[in-house]
Amino acid sequence: MFQRLLALLALSASLACAHAQEPQTQLPRVKLTAGMYQIDAQVAQTPEQHQIGLMFRKEMPQTEGMIFVFGQPATQCFWMRNTLLPLTAAFVADDGRIVNLADMKPMTDDSHCSEEPVRFVLEMNQGWFTRKNIKKGAKLGGELFANRR
């Protein structure tokens, strides 16, 4: 029985991996702001969407990103397995405050974690936050944060 369960789990994982070879580009979107800048963010809400994230994407427009939404604040950690683009993760508190930023190298399993419990993580092309002079402590705006201030 245990071996059958393990075989079923392995098959499920391989099917999920085969399905994940394509970038997810059809997620719902939300408009966010960072100061005077607009962000068009895909919203990853489910565990499967979280796991795939921006994997396999070969390009992403500079005004786009992906925001990961979790059920409750916790220490969130991200890696870059199968992610081809260099990204920066903004770990974001419920009120939209950027708790910390982490530059992440493509195709690595290095762990990048929030400095405090958060429910949101926004991934943008690496260098976007620096070019816009958006730093730790800055506030993001948008409907995700509107009722949490």
Domains and CATH numbers, the chain: 23-146 (2.60.120.1140)
* Global pTM value: 0.85
The confidence score (pLDDT) of residue 52 equals 95
Tokens standing for 110? 């290095």
Q: What is the pLDDT of residues 109-127, one digit of tens each?
A: 999 999 999 999 999 999 9
How does DSSP classify residue 11? H
Quick one: pLDDT band at residue 22, thresholds 50, 70, 90? Answer: confident
Residue given tokens 């009722």 in the structure block: 147
Q: What is the pLDDT of residues 34-62, one digit of tens each?
A: 999 999 999 999 999 999 999 999 999 99
Q: How many helices (H) does the chain have, and how many strands (E)? A: 4, 9
The confidence score (pLDDT) of residue 21 equals 79
Residue given tokens 């580009």 in the structure block: 25
Quick one: pLDDT band at residue 146, thresholds 50, 70, 90? Answer: confident
